[in-house]
Amino acid sequence: MYKALLLLLIAAWSVPAAAERLSPEVLWKLDRLGSPIVSPDGKQVVVPVTRYAEEDGKAETRLWLLDDEGQAARPLTIAGASASSPVFSPDGSALAFVSTRGEDEAGQIHVLPMGGPGEAQKISDIPTGASGLRWEGDHVYFVSSVWADQTFEEMATTLEEQAESKVSAHVWNRMPYAFWDRWLDEERERHLYRIHVDSGEVEALTLGTGLQLPRGSWGGSGEYDVAPDGGMIAFTANSRTEGIYVNNDIFLLETGSDKAVNITADNPASDGAPMFSPDGESLAYLSQNIEGFYGDNARLNVRNLDSGKTVKLHTDWDRSMSGLVWAPGSDGFFGAIDDAGTRRVYSIPLGDAPTKPVTAGTSFDGLSIADNGRLVARNQSFLYPPRVVEINTNSGDAQRIEDFNDAVLAGVDMGTYESVTYKGADGADIQMWVNYPPGFDSRKEYPLFLLIHGGPHNAITDSFHFRWNAQSFSSWGYVTAWPNFHGSSGFGQDFADSINPDWATKPYADVIAAGEWFDEKPWIDSERTAAGGGSYGGYLSSILLGREHPFNTLVIHAAVYDFYSQNSADFAVHEQRFGPYWEREEMVRELSPHFAAGNFKTPSLILHGQNDLRVPVGQAFALFRALQLQGIESQLVYYPDENHWILTRDNSLHWYDTVRDWIGKFAEPGPR
């Protein structure tokens, strides 16, 4: 008996432990890497790394140093005070960044020496805070949201009075009043400043021009640039003042002047992303052609600063320019281009030579280039989170230069994925990412969870998604898929614009065709299917709800459900390009999901956050009421402290658990 027991124990010990899967809990253990920056001499790389505390889920971002001496990465900034917007000095001897420390109420500029030991020194005391740093010469440039008629001392008093006031009212006399997840203060303007690194003297740069940087903005440094000699500034500002619509133009301003020159006044659509060449002779910027269409291809323009002559480059290339950095020799660019389901690095010459892909598989962004041509970037795929890599611009090889997340992922089975193509609306080729669960066995049948991306004018690329992670969904025992239906970016201008103004017909047909593609596969159980998405993906899921479809249940997050009530948001569907709803009522009736409420019959999970100003939360309550009135099994999950996205750890874990439990009721997970 003892011998038999011993043999059983030995057998148990010899069985390898089951690999962990990419659960939502694992997702929240991962470090989240921001865009890296490389020093001018190419020897040092700094990357923001965000971690979430195990005890309370609070986020903290620290700056980490990676160098080419083979040393382990080390944190540059202190624990307990998040840091952002890192930028090297022109000679690489120091690093500036934004952090809120001590008694600071807003982020201030700190400077850290890079050549040896030393603490970061705070050089600013801006009551309204600083963001979007650049460093040229002896100055650090920054953006702040200010009261244009007040001194900084008066602003500090105003902020203190607001904090102590018991009145919570917001008052507006004009648009815009909101941006995604925050209300905009009509009395404040976004302006560009610079601070002398040694003296601390602050100089307002755009304050007297009668212009301001875009009010609805994420606040990065891409809205402006500074010439290498510091003598000129290029910035983006809205040139339209007569209405609620935006036409961002590029303005040139000599430093110290208050007379800015609009160099894109002839273009009625938006322009942005100004970039001075390293030699200071040219200014590059991006422009669109179609007013009111954010998915319009961004085109590259280069202006000779002496002659004022501007040329458009690569106009026959049917891709949108993005993520550009000048090559050190001022003879071209590298860009992170959304290209047929993958964000690839391209070489983009100044002359007539064609653009060339540098990288092939997986996705890259956050490019930063040194004076010696060393190119670093973030790299990610469905199977690994963002990493920092150095790219060989000749071979396209990407060499990883850090090991963040390796320990967490060492025992995790990520499953597999592939890109497939099927025929969608009008017989067009539709690219789709298919994700398989760990241990996938094609001899068995699996349930399907079809994911519908938002936008609609963006694509799902070969990238790692923390909020809708396909491999996490697959880890529950589902085959998951992201189709890049009509309207998606990266497949050409005509494909992206093919759904305007009809948001429904072609994407709906593409989703149905995706379901049919899976139905033909012997390893899919067509009796166990679910679909869902957020934002526009929630809209298209609501369209499915009112039409014929093969899915047992739907997951509908932050859905545009009622085009009429969507007019209360910071974004009204089609309005600028095709007119207000009272001028296109027939179109609204055809495209708004709420008009098909009488056809609803599918069990649905509705999720939404109170602070969502892009798609107001009332959309979810209206949809839930329509389902409940008809006795359709449904659940509404409301997050009073989240916005368009579920961003905090505990709520995210709750969101994933809720989705898992819901779809499991109607499409049981696992192979059969």
| Sequence letter at residue 606 | I
Residue type, 148: A
Whether 367 and 457 share a structural domain: no
- Kind of pairing between the strands at 412-413 and 20-21: parallel
Please tell me whether residues 198 and 297 are part of one structural domain: yes
What pLDDT does 73 receive?
85
Among residues 419, 430, 605, which one has the least CA distance to residue 516?
430
Instruction: Kindly report the average pLDDT of the chain as a whole number.
Output: 93
Place of tokens 């902020």: 159
Burial degree of 470 (CB within 10 A; 0-12, 13-18, 19+): buried
Domain boundaries, position 232: 123-153+174-313
134 domain residue, yes or no: yes
The residue from 313, 348, 369 where one domain ends is 313
pLDDT band, residue 221 (cuts 50/70/90): confident
Residue 641 lies in a domain: yes
Q: Read off φ and ψ for residue 414, nearest 5 degrees.
A: -85, -5
| Residue 307: exposure state from Cβ atoms within 10 A (0-12, 13-18, ≥19) | exposed
Q: Give me the mean pLDDT over the 316-322 stretch.
A: 96
Question: For 354, left (φ over 0), alpha (ψ -120 to 50), or beta?
Answer: beta
pLDDT at position 10: 33
- SS3 string, 138-158, reads CEEEEEEEECCCCCHHHHHHH
104 falls within a domain: no
Q: What is the reported pLDDT for 88?
A: 98
Q: Is the pLDDT of residue 315 over 70?
A: yes
**Does residue 646 sit in the same domain as residue 662?**
yes
Does residue 387 lie within any of the structural domains? Answer: yes
Which of 495, 500, 498, 463 has the alpha carbon at shortest distance from 318? 495
The CATH number assigned to the domain holding 603 equals 3.40.50.1820
- For residue 182, give both structure tokens: 């925050």
Could you tell me which of 590, 592, 587, 522 has the C-alpha nearest to residue 561? 592
Q: How far apart are CA 358 and CA 297, in angstroms?
A: 21
Q: State residue 240's pLDDT score.
A: 86
Please give the structure tokens belonging to residue 612. Answer: 């969502």
**Residue 525 within a domain:** yes
Please tell me the predicted confidence (pLDDT) of residue 217: 76
361 and 442 fall within a common domain? no
Distance CA 355, CA 342 (A): 16
Q: How far is 605 from 666, CA to CA, in rounded Å? A: 11
Q: Is the pLDDT of residue 577 over 70?
A: yes
Predicted pLDDT of residue 102: 84
- Average pLDDT, stretch 211-233? 89
Model confidence at 583, pLDDT cuts 50, 70, 90, reads very high
Which residues are CB-neighbours of 299 under 8 A, at least 6 positions away? 286, 287, 288, 289, 312, 313, 314, 315, 321
Token pair of 279 as six digits: 């030699």
The CATH number linked to 222 is 2.130.10.10
Give this prediction's pTM: 0.94
Q: Is 112's pLDDT higher than 70?
A: yes
What's the mean pLDDT in 231-242? Answer: 91
**Band of the pLDDT at 69, cuts 50, 70, 90?**
low
At 244-280, the pLDDT tens digits run 888 999 999 999 999 999 999 999 999 999 999 999 9
Using the predicted structure, report yes or no on whether residue 660 has a pLDDT greater than 90: yes
Looking at the fold, whether 187 and 203 belong to one and the same domain comes out as yes
Burial of 586 (0-12, 13-18, 19+ CB in 10 A): exposed
Does residue 519 sit within a domain?
A: yes
Going by the DSSP 8-state scheme, the letter that residue 657 receives in this structure is H
Residues 220 and 356 in one domain: no
End-to-end CA distance of the chain: 37
**422 and 393 share one domain:** no
CA dihedral 241, 243, 244, 249 (to 10 degrees): -40
pLDDT for 159: 96
Among the candidates 298, 313, 328, a domain finishes at 313
DSSP sequence for 151-211: -HHHHHHHHHHHHH--------SSS--EETTEEPPTT-EEEEEEEETTT--EEESSTTTT-
Note whether 241 and 344 are same-domain residues: no
Look at the chain and report how many structural domains it folds into.
Answer: 4
pLDDT at 55: 87
Strands 634-639 vs 429-436: parallel, antiparallel or unpaired: unpaired
- The answer on 554 and 455 residing in a single domain is yes
Q: How confident is the model at residue 71 (pLDDT cuts 50, 70, 90)?
A: low
Relative orientation angle of helices 536-545 and 505-519, to the nearest 10 degrees:
70
Residue 15 has pLDDT above 80, yes or no: no
Model pLDDT, residue 12: 36
Determine the average pLDDT of the residues in 366-389: 97
Report the Cα 351 to chain-centroid distance in Å.
31
544 and 652 both lie in a single domain: yes
In a domain, 589, yes or no: no
Looking at the structure, tell me whether residues 407 and 420 fall in a common domain.
Answer: no
Type of residue found at 605: L
Percent of the chain with pLDDT over 70: 96
Residue 70's pLDDT band (cuts 50, 70, 90): low
pLDDT at 2: 38
Q: At 513, is the secondary structure helix, strand, or coil?
A: helix
DSSP letter at 71 equals P
Residue 603 lies in a domain: yes
Write down which residue in 313, 337, 363 finishes a domain.
Answer: 313
Give residue-wise pLDDT tens across range 479-533.
999 999 999 999 999 999 999 999 999 999 999 999 999 999 999 999 999 999 9
For residues 39 and 141, membership in a common domain is answered with no
- The span from the CA of 329 to the CA of 670, in Å, is 55
Residues 165-220 pLDDT 10s: 999 999 999 888 999 999 999 999 999 999 999 999 999 999 999 999 998 777 77
